[in-house]
Chain A
Amino acid sequence: MKLSFNWLKEYVDISASPEELSEKLSLSGTAVDSFTKLGADIVFELAVTPNRGDCLSVVGIAREVALLFQKPIKKLVGKVTYKIQNERNEHIHIAVQDLTVCPKFCALCLKGVTVQPSPLWLRERLQTIGVRPINNIVDVTNYIMFDLGQPLHAFDAAKVADQYIIVRSAKNGEKLITLDGKTRTLDESVLVLADTKKALDIAGVMGGKESEVIEETKDIILVASVFEPSVIRRAYRTLGLRTEAAIRFEKGIDWHNLEPSLQKTADMIQDVCGGIVSIGIVKVATKDPREIEFDVQLNYLNMLLGYEIKETDIKATLVGLGIKISDKTKNVFTVSIPSWRHDIKIPADIAEEVGRMRDYNAIPPVPLNGVIAPPPINRLYDAKQATRTLLASTEFNEVYTYSYYGKKEAEFIGGAASHVEVENPISPDEQYLRRSLIPLLLRKASSNLRLFDEIKIFELGTVFEPDSVLPKESTMLAGVVAYKGAALYDLYRRLKGHLEYLFTELGVIALSYKKENNKILINREGIDIGWIRVISPDDEPEYKFRQNIAMFECAIAPLLSQVSKRLRFEPIPIYPSVTRDINFIIPDTVRYIDIVKITEKFSPLLSNVSLSDEFRLADGRRSITLRFVYSSLEKTLTSSEADAVSSELTVLLKSRLNFELRV
């Protein structure tokens, strides 16, 4: 909101520099984003918080400034001298269909106005705050809105059928052409001002074109109202018409400001445009609402702020804001909130008034006091942290991708229909909540591989699966690995090596790997927790890879489900071991797991078996080198003793798995 310095100074005479004013206002809750010199004036750009509807006017800011600078504020509104009658006088008849949505409605008739451009001072003042001048009547009503905070509207009285205005709900489908020339179709949730024949104005939002004040207008009807804030808010949001009037109504209007605003407007119109007020104000209203009152404890204020402020200072601040105080007991006083403040309802609100007006930066910081105990453990969080550290320390780079993707990626994972969908996405590429981290990770892999020969990337993130009301959310770990010129099997073994390292370090045991369709499933105790896939460029042309790629994805939570096996020390062997490397030619159908099954409990003297080499012979046969380590707890094994076990084992491998010794 723009504020004119000169305009402000009409209410409170301060000699402060614009810097000083900016600083003081910002530190009291009304942020000043900037200020600029404009002719002989200075314009401030204020950011008023949504709870301070009262600050959307010069008068509202003036109240704040007066207290901040300890200056008197000049008379805000003149006394109302016009006669106030109920419902009607000779020139105008008003009505309200539902007082719960429009508890107060006032109107005033002026006859014999001369509509023309406003005088220069008025045009300039409006332009200073970014408002376009229209004609003297409209300009005065706008002036009053920014001056006193009361939105007003002027109708051409000749266009108001039967001199009757009612505040009622629109009929479903009722149409109205607004001041901007657009035709609006309304429904019964929207309030309108109407005459006996049709709607004239969208209440609280914008007037109608037909009844607007134009050059030919001779008589006008001014209206001022109080509306139920949520009704106006709903109306302007439905219509997409967020006007200056609407934002003031949705934040709450000062009940007692209507008649004085009408008075000031009428006086100003008479000065500027001629014309005579006809008789006076007509009003339809409920009983004047009682002021909000509640008790405040002094020690609560001091406790909440964490600072002892003198009682006299507290009360002086509150009184300066227009809050009435009456003492109840030594510690308790009752506050009575002025009608322009809709945001003060509870003692915490009073604490804020005191705190903000007295500079929070003056409060000495105080450390927290309490029970010292280690905070509860968050196992999933710790597992995620450990995973990141382990992967980063083995050359992986962590990547973050979006939580949503488009149709193409959704097709990669079960199709769009199986995804949670965003109703109002920013773009079609961000429409489906991801069910897997892989589609976007593959895209990142592809673009990075244009610049790097090798990549190892991972992401830890949330995926979403449709469920009843809220989707099921799981934390997944996924990654993509590529080495220049790597064959598929080699790529797979390297990635698997990384995963085995990760799982071991996380304390996860008993994992098995099994091919199923085009994936290798990672299984733990009967549950599939993830998968690995190695592809050549042709397998996924969508991603335009130029080399073999290995990818994996697994869920983190199932890794936590078992108490991890605690490492146990194994006594260091006293006697040296004997190692035998034996080369075999083996059938393609043999799985390493089959070898493990045979060797693991073969002999107490066989302490370790590992695969030390593997390759294809020129004739295509598969050759492996198994390293057997033999040792005894009781003595040094001799060569021949080791050889004996080796022979037995070889015989077994030959007979069970069709191994051949390679010579």
Chain B
Amino acid sequence: MSTQARGLNNFISDLRNAKSKEEESNRVEVELAKIRQKFNPGDSKLAADGSNPSLSSYQRKKYVWKLAYIHVLGYEVDFGHAEVLSLVRSKKFNEKTVGYVALSLLLRGSDASMGSIVDTMKVDLTSGPDPTGKKKKGAVKNDAVQCLALCSLANISGLELIQAMHVEVQHILVSKTSTEQVKKKSALCLLRLTRMSPDLISGREFAPHMGELLRDQHLGVVTSVMSLLNGLASQQPTSYECLIPNVVHVLSLLVMKKECAREYMYYHTPSPWLQIKLLKFLQLYPNAIEGHDIGMGGNEHVNQVMNVITKILMETDVSDSINKSNADHAILFEAVNLIVVWGTTCPVLMRDGAMSILGKFISVREPNIRYLGLMIMAKLAQIEGSVEGAKKHQATVIVSLKDADISVRRRALDLLFVICDTDNADRIVDELVAHLVVADASIREEMVLKIAILAEKYATDLRWYVDTILKLISISGDYVSDSIWHRVVQIVTNHPQGDLQSYAAATLFVAVTPHRCHETTVRIAAYILGEFGFLIAERPGMSGEDQFHVLHQHWFIVDTTTRAILTTAYAKLANLYEECRPLVAPVFARSKNSSDVEVQQRCVEYSTMREAFSPESVEDLLREMPPFEDKRRSALEVRLIETEGEKSAAATKASTPSEVEQQRALMSIQMLSNPPAEEEMEPIEEEEEDEQDVEKTSANNNAVQLRDEVGMDPPDVNKYNGVSNPMVVGIPKELIPAMRKAFSNLCTSPSGVLFENSLLQVGVKHEYIGAQGRISVFFGNLNSTPLQNFRVKIDQPGHLRMQMQGTQDLLDDGESDGCTVATKTQAKLLILVEVTAPFVDAPSMRIQFETENGDQHDYPLRLPLVVTCFMEPVNLDPGAFMQRWKSLEGPDRECQEVMKLPPSASSGIDEGYMDRVASVIVDGLKFGRCQGVDPTPWTVSGAATFRTGAKDMNGNNINVGCLLRIEANPKANAFRVTTRTLHPLCSKAIKNVSLVSIKLAA
């Protein structure tokens, strides 16, 4: 404008000349103060609407423009609304224009002052040209006023405004008398209104109007109407499906015939923006071409659209003019998007064509085209059957990963992520890891996350996965989020098959050996060594003590979270290795008053655990963690979705399990359906909580104790029971109840069968004198072929002294391959045992062998060697029994449990049942029955001495006196077992055996 306001010009010049941000903001403050003063001088009266009537039109416009200018500069402008509104209300066109522009800039629909302007806007909206068309000049002006009102309404729409005006806007759009200028603005205005409240327009009634509008000659109108249509059709696709032919028609006019007003040609391309919008509309109907025979005379518009797409694909070329080239490619990319949406319903030829065009694009120099090419290829590759085409370009994509431009690198990373599968995972992951070294900070986190997901998804060997993650940590550990290392722990814990766990333990042992290593490494190592350290403890230089030392060297430089994890690891180490206890104790003692609550609590709990609980419950608490529940979505996917949005190419990819993953999952399910011994133990649900498991478990401590049944479950079924691995056959689940029963039987009878399946029968014969026993185990081959590499390993707990003798090479000494048991023959094992202390768990016996066809079998069993084997009956008279019974009161000495019989188990408790119980107590448990103490048939009392081979200070054998009382409640169908001994373990062990025996007697 030629005549600018001088005040405004000066102001702008001042701002331009401002040397610093401070100077600028000072100037703005001065100006704001001045304008405030002008708008509300205080002495003169304000008009009813709050504006200052003494301002001239010029002044008002000038100050409002200054406010607009200040606003654009980024300063808050929270006054002057009244002046803006008074401009809008003005009858003068030039005041109105300023008013409306300022209105759109400074106010929003929810502002309180908007209410007062509704009527003015309504009048302006409906001030359409006089239908008689007499006063030409006036008409043009009103048309412009209408446009102004529409424009503001579109920009600031609030709910109140919508309710007041949507009818008018709709009417204006479809009215025959509206000018083109007004139509196109009202279309976009309506779009805004329907976004705010989608129920304004009923699609079925409105669609024909839209069809009419699409026939408009004015391409500006069609462009705006297409924006509106895209919005409406997104909301109610079915209502507007009928417009597909219209849209295709417009599109084919533009593409095939280049029919377009000269003014709308953009570098010889007919309105590229309109073409884009038309193609976007078609993308809303993914099934549009489904079931049509393309090119076979089917539906006319389907043929038309196929021709259009083919033409776009075939004839788009790089031209000299960058503008022309960009415009054409914009359309081309939109056409490929359409193909992506059609997906598998699109002819393969067309998809392949698109893929090869994109292949060309991703290798051009022009960064924009390369960027978009990579982006769309990632989308296209997700269509079934298209990924192979994309994989051909893998090398090119990897080059783009090293592009100078972060935007391009991101896209390349995305695409690599999408095309990665089992075949090329090694290559791509290695390539990504290599690139990570030089990648800049802004993309690292994303890369690390994606590498971690790919490595997990496509690892054919999980050891490779563990290695990859460790590499990630060593390269850019700061970007490895907790969820990534938690995932490693989950995976290692959940895959007991193969040697993954020992491999992970050994690898991490090496990884934390250097004094300087990343804290995350220390965390994983602490967790893994705590859990699986025992698997490598036999290796040279990796003993429990060594494990403690490599971990503990980091203690002083790590933060408290890591210390808390280390604490748990220490507790587990100390539990397993006697020699670690003196090392760990001072650490706990010192950290008992750590300022961190978590560390403090753990230390206090771990160090008092041994005093507070019985050794076996400590054992329980510090046992390996059960497998994690497989959540539907891993934490990593959740992160990816957070950063990239639910439906990004990457997120879709991450949530579809790969083949390898499915295989693994299948294996894990098999394993889990073969439940581990502690099946009742709640799986820890939240990964974050898993370090706190001990606290959690200690809450359940009593429950765990109660469930423990003489440790008669096969040891570590979850670990050895390798059904999951096709190569190693374990004990099938359905055999376990029978095995438990056989075991229980054997505990109270001198001989019997411990285990039997189609290949092998294990028989046991055992007899005891005092603290000593003689156990013969027979391994009979029931198979028609020999069992090879047959070996047996019996663990020798501290409380039992054992001597073993057996068939040559039968015993697993770690060197020989075991013996061969020919068909229909037996291998024998003789064990001489002496007990030195009470115990709860029966010693485990692991049998391994191979059959002719190469299957490896691995059966974890337990010897039926329980504490009652070493009892000697004592016959007491009732008085003596009661006297001793009373003297042994107290929580450390007594052990009690109530057992309710399952209703189906027996006909109920009757006298016959009680007789059987009494006889099993006498014959099986070797207790002396104390008849006189049982006045009714519903109690059984007995006494015995537990003989050990341990000597006291005087050289006499230590013996423990044991009292047992069983009370039945036939009404409740329940038994209460109470044992009292001097030794808490002894009480518990006897109670457990009694319970089992009572059950068996049923």
Is chain B a partner of chain A in the same complex? no
A contacts, CB < 8 Å to B: none
B contacts, CB < 8 Å to A: none
